[in-house]
């Protein structure tokens, strides 16, 4: 079914439920478009999340076009079968919302803390998540929170940071956010990222091989602000990368590392 239609934001949610005694769902594919000849067709894909799965469709993935969006859902079953559903048309009239970014910036390579050692590594080499969280917390709370303050909390109170291997897993993002009295939410798809950013939320994004990092490493970025399908990126390792980027591009370079996807996706919105 379709729910949560937000015409102005250009989004709606497709829901798929697993029948308790039915064939087991392996994968869900959603095709949506608004142009007569499917010129802005975009495919969404998701693996089931328990008995109920939600997929956000966003006009941002379809050229930000206003119109009636046709939605087809294809369910791939574990027995090899496929079933299709036509959910009809949904009217969207997305407006170009502009949310100005906040620009608090910390570098994990700052000599004040770059060499500080936690477990198997130091802030310079593996402190991108604590540094990104410090930027985000400082923005939202309006008071200075340093990368070392976040790193101290993560290392001393969780098993998520530099324990066994360098870096911070998704559980650490959730735990630190809760410790500072804020909320975090897993974000799926480019449309979900855009929706969070249009709502003024910060998004922490773990990315893989790209201009931001090289295999086999991954890297955390802070996303905030929205302007016509783009968002402002703050890179804690290289300030030269700071600037406006396409949300679709950022989603396309998402990390596939298990640490970053421990909770289902490598993107988290953070908000008060």
Predicted confidence (pLDDT) per residue in 25-64, tens digit: 999 999 999 999 999 999 999 998 789 999 999 887 887 8
Decide which of 63, 78, 95 is a domain's last residue.
Answer: 95
CATH number of 196's domain: 3.90.70.10
Give the whole-number percent of the chain exceeding pLDDT 90. 83
Q: What is the CA radius of gyration of the chain?
A: 20
Is the same domain home to 185 and 241? Answer: yes
| Whole-number pLDDT of residue 95 | 75
Residue 154 — pLDDT band, cuts 50, 70, 90?
A: very high
Mean pLDDT of 167-195: 94
Is the same domain home to 56 and 144? Answer: no
CATH number of 81's domain: 2.60.40.2550
- Under a CB-based contact definition with an 8 Å cutoff, are residues 183 and 177 in contact? yes
Decide which of 95, 120, 145 is a domain's last residue.
Answer: 95
| Whole-number pLDDT of residue 61 | 84
pLDDT at 93 over 80: yes
Is the same domain home to 151 and 56? Answer: no
Q: Which carries the bigger pLDDT value, residue 20 or residue 176?
A: 176
Give me the torsion for CA of 176, 178, 183, 189, rounded to 10°.
Answer: 40
Residue 80 — pLDDT band, cuts 50, 70, 90?
A: very high
| Whole-number pLDDT of residue 97 | 73
**Which residues lie below 8 Å from residue 80, measured CB to CB, with a gap of 6+?**
none
Decide which of 50, 80, 95 is a domain's last residue.
Answer: 95
Is the same domain home to 120 and 169? Answer: yes
| Whole-number pLDDT of residue 94 | 82
Is the same domain home to 19 and 109? Answer: no
Q: How far is CA 121 from the centre of its chain?
A: 26
| Whole-number pLDDT of residue 245 | 96
Mean pLDDT of 187-195: 88
Residue 257 — pLDDT band, cuts 50, 70, 90?
A: very high
pLDDT at 195 over 90: no
Is the same domain home to 153 and 34? Answer: no
Structural domain count, the chain: 2
Q: Which domain holds residue 142?
A: 99-271
Is the same domain home to 214 and 79? Answer: no
């Amino acid at each position: 079914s379709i729910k949560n239609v937000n015409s102005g934001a250009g989004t709606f949610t497709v829901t798929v439920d697993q029948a308790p005694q039915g064939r087991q769902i392996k994968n869900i594919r959603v095709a949506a478009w608004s142009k007569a000849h499917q010129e802005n067709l975009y495919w969404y894909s998701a693996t089931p999340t328990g008995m109920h799965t939600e997929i956000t469709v966003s006009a941002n993935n379809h050229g930000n076009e206003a119109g009636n969006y046709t939605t087809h859902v294809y369910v791939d079953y574990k027995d090899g079968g496929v079933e299709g559903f036509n959910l009809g048309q949904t009217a969207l009239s997305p407006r170009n919302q502009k949310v100005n970014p906040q620009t608090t910036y910390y570098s994990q390579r700052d000599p004040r803390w770059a060499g500080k050692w936690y477990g198997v590594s130091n802030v310079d080499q593996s402190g991108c998540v604590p540094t990104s969280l410090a930027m985000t917390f400082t923005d939202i709370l309006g008071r200075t929170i340093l990368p070392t303050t976040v790193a101290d909390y993560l290392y001393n109170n969780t098993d998520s940071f530099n324990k066994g291997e360098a870096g911070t897993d998704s559980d650490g993002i959730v735990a630190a956010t809760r410790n500072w009295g804020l909320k975090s939410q897993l974000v799926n798809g480019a449309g979900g990222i855009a929706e969070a950013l249009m709502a003024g939320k910060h998004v922490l994004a773990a990315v893989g091989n790209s201009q931001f990092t090289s295999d086999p490493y991954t890297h955390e970025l802070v996303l905030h602000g929205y302007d016509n399908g783009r968002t402002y990126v703050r890179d804690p390792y290289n300030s030269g990368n700071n600037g406006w980027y396409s949300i679709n591009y950022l989603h396309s370079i998402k990390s596939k590392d298990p640490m970053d996807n421990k909770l289902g996706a490598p993107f988290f919105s953070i908000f008060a």
